[in-house]
Amino acid sequence: MTNNTNRLLGETLWKIYNRPDPAQPWSKISDLFWNDPAFSERIVREHVDNTHGAASRDNAERAAQIEWLWEKLGLQPGRHLFDITCGPGLYAMEFAQRGCTITGNDFNPAAIAYANDLAVIENVSGQCTFVEQDIREMDYRGRDFDAAILLYGQLAPFPPTEAQALLTNIAQSLKRGGRLCLELLNPERVDKENSSWWFTDDSGLWGDGPFLHLGERFWHDKEKVSVERYHIIHLETGQLTEMQMTDQTYTPETMTAMLKEAGFNQIEVYPAWDGLSLGDAEEWVVYVAGK
């Protein structure tokens, strides 16, 4: 190691030593840098890796979900689907191939680029519009979408006030009779124990060179929020990357009330993905909300 690397490594270790304890929800480092070009490329690699379900479900599980969504959302060829946090377009492609028009958005530039390329490959580019966008800044009011999906817990990273505003925005983007499918973690299944862990790797999601990952998890019982904090030490340089993820949990009663406040009047609740054969089905509660 060079003297500069040793100096940076020393500074990194002291910074970790002096970290706030416990990690607080929605701190300044709460958001993963989804729109960072290098990180966004790495997360897309995880999304399209069909050997695990860490970022996207595998092909067989996704196919089962799509059949279920097609029925529950009343989709047909010609219907317009709003895919919120669409990622690399893996769900969107399936619905487009069935004849739907798709509007999708995501904060990850590599995911949007992948989705656009995939639409060309699958010959559905004329049916698909993908937008790089922070969903807190979206405004699709009056678009009269037939249906919308917000899957894999992507509402949970936002504070309840922002989550409520997002749900209202989505409701106003749907036509009368339109439906939203929302997937959130089952609060009864969330890990409420504080814990820590570490691992090393030559490369991966957190970097393209050797790194040491130090992770911590905190449960804030009053707010019903979990916080995961990551310190990534890049071993070749001694530099530190800090990240934090906050997940708000909601009981079905609370989320039903929030959906009604947003403008939905028919809400169906499906624990464990309504019995679908998914490896993690028990971890989730799915809501289908109609206007």
23-37 pLDDT, tens digit per residue, is: 999 986 655 577 888
CA distance 131 to 249: 28
Model pLDDT, residue 34? 76
C-beta atoms surrounding 59 within 10 Å: 11
Q: How far apart are CA 162 and CA 159, in angstroms?
A: 5
- Beta-carbon contacts of residue 117 (< 8 Å; ≥ 6 apart): none
Residue type, 135: I
Which residue blocks in the chain are alpha helix, DSSP H? 3-17, 37-47, 59-72, 90-97, 109-121, 160-173, 252-262
The whole-model pTM stands at 0.96
As a whole number of angstroms, the longest Cα–Cα distance in the chain is: 65
Name the DSSP letter for residue 214.
E
pLDDT score at 32: 58
Domain ranges of the chain: 3-30+191-248, 37-187+249-290
For 37-187+249-290, CATH number out of 3.90.650.10, 3.40.50.150, 3.30.2130.30, 3.30.499.10 equals 3.40.50.150
Q: Is 116 helix (H, G, I), strand (E, B) or coil?
A: helix
Q: Which portions of the chain are predicted below pLDDT 50?
A: none
Half-sphere exposure of 66 (CA within 13 A, CB side): 21
SS3 call for 286: strand
pLDDT tens, residue by residue, 58-114: 999 999 999 999 999 999 999 999 999 999 999 999 999 999 999 999 999 999 999
